[in-house]
C-alpha cells in the first residue's frame, strides 16, 4: 500500500532534497527500510556503525508520535510517516 514518508530537513540531503518519498509498505518499519533501500545515504543518519538506530530519531504517523516498539504495527493506505532527526546543540 502506498505510504507517504515525510523527511526532516537533515535527511533530505540524502534523498536529493525530496521532502516526501512515497513507498509501498505495511508498517512504519517497512517504510523506513524502503527509504533506506531507495536512498542508501539515509542509513548513516538513522543507524550507527553497528546497525543500532540512533536515539535522536523520532517517528510520527499522521501527526501522532510512534514509539520504536510500535514500528512493526500496521499502518493504513494513505497514511503519512514523518521521520524526524533531532539534533541537539549547546
Domain assignments of the chain as residue spans, ordered by start: 25-90
pTM tops 0.75:
yes
**Residue 69 phi, psi dihedral angles, 5° rounding:** -65, -15
How does the average pLDDT of the chain come out, rounded? 91
pLDDT in tens, 18-60: 999 999 999 999 999 999 999 999 999 999 999 999 988 999 9
Share of the chain above pLDDT 70, in %: 97
| End-to-end CA gap in the chain | 41
Residue 79 has pLDDT above 60, yes or no: yes
- CATH for 25-90 (3.10.20.30, 1.20.1250.20, 3.40.190.10, 3.40.50.1220): 3.10.20.30
The helix (run of H) or strand (run of E) holding residue 10 is helix 9-12
Amino acid at each position: 500500500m502506498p505510504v507517504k514518508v515525510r523527511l526532516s530537513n537533515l535527511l533530505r540531503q540524502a534523498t536529493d532534497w525530496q521532502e516526501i518519498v512515497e513507498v509501498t509498505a505495511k508498517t512504519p518499519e517497512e517504510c523506513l527500510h524502503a527509504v533506506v533501500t531507495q536512498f542508501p545515504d539515509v542509513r548513516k543518519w538513522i543507524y550507527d556503525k553497528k546497525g543500532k538506530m540512533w536515539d535522536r530519531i523520532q517517528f510520527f504517523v499522521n501527526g501522532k508520535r510512534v514509539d520504536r516498539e510500535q514500528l512493526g504495527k500496521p499502518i493504513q493506505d494513505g497514511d503519512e510517516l514523518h521521520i524526524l532527526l533531532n539534533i541537539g546543540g549547546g
